[in-house]
Structure 1
């Protein structure tokens, strides 16, 4: 019997704007023949993920949980502390259920591009400024709980130089999905 993996998150896990075959999580599933449950929901926040944690994670009893949250929280003007607190609750729940946890550190955004191509939003700058702070806090959590992680933020820190990989300044086109996939392979090699 294959190990089960749950990927819990938002549109960056779901694969917003691309065909399923181009989504980085689906590429992991097909390239490594993994039993992955994609529990990414467009617009989801860490609070939403807490609410659905029982049904989307614990009821599935995966061997590994990959958890990435924070971008939508920041776009909703929530604090880095509230995101980290929610993620820590989920880590504790998973660990107490013998589920190994991997953390995803959300990628950078391009506010100017998102305002033009996604939707107008007053909190893009707040989100962009807060993402490196979130990264540092998530790295601290990973150290505290000895967790593996994928640092998509560092991969996209100079997002403007990588704008050709974004659909809209937040989400990734097929080439950007391939970049995330290449980074994610390190967890499975």
Structure 2
């Protein structure tokens, strides 16, 4: 039986920035699949610092050329941190969805988690765009859900998941997650 390729594309939240490679939520998912005996080849194409424009530019090579049976797409936080408009994020994700549909109808959209601007400023790096990003993420969530409904796609709402947690237990710097945070994302992911 041929392995199914499950490709995850995104930014540092997909890559697993801030934890060792085997402690990221996608690695937890990989271990979970092995334990369940699922014949799935999980490919993590998350790249730290990527915007949805970066993801779109590499989408054919990094995703559709791999003949994926399932595609997971999550991005937008870095776009907002770069002061880009929500519409441009949606346009990019829409184009990635359209390209994904040429090879599979099993597409999952990740809704980016919230950021904690005070922690990000203090622990990650000073930036003038944290306010804009924090205010825009709930709007991005709403529009991403509409986009998923339009295409009848599944989505994982990491924003809702992280909107009521004690951030000190799960975040390392207000944007990225510690091992507990990655376990939180993994547990949410496997519920769907």
TM-score, normalization by structure 2: 0.94
Contact 1:61 1:99 in 2 (8 A): no
Q: How does 1:17-36 map to 2 (within 5 A)?
A: 17-33=18-34, 34-36=40-42
Give the structure 2 partner of residue 180 of structure 1.
Answer: 185
Equivalent residue in structure 2 for 1:73, among 45, 69, 79: 79
Write out per-residue CA displacement over residues 129-186 of structure 1, whole angstroms, 9 at most, x where no aligned residue. Answer: 0000000000001100000110000001135x32221000000000111000100112
SS, match of residue 170 in structure 1: coil
Contact 2:117 2:174 in 1 (8 A): yes
Give the Å deviation of 1:58: 1.1
Separation in 2, partners of 1:94, 1:158: 32
SS, match of residue 84 in structure 2: coil
Q: In the alignment, does 2:9 pair up with 1:8? A: yes
Separation in 2, partners of 1:180, 1:163: 15
Q: State the number of aligned residues.
A: 186
Give the structure 1 partner of residue 101 of structure 2.
Answer: 95
Give the Å deviation of 1:102: 0.3
CA RMSD of aligned residues (A): 1.0
TM-score, normalization by structure 1: 0.96
SS, match of residue 133 in structure 1: helix
Equivalent residue in structure 2 for 1:170, among 156, 169, 175: 175
Stretches (4+) displaced over 3 A: none
Give the structure 1 partner of residue 163 of structure 2.
Answer: 157
Contact 1:65 1:100 in 2 (8 A): yes
Give the structure 1 partner of residue 152 of structure 2.
Answer: 146
Separation in 2, partners of 1:144, 1:87: 13
Give the Å deviation of 1:127: 0.3
Unaligned runs of 5+ in 1: none
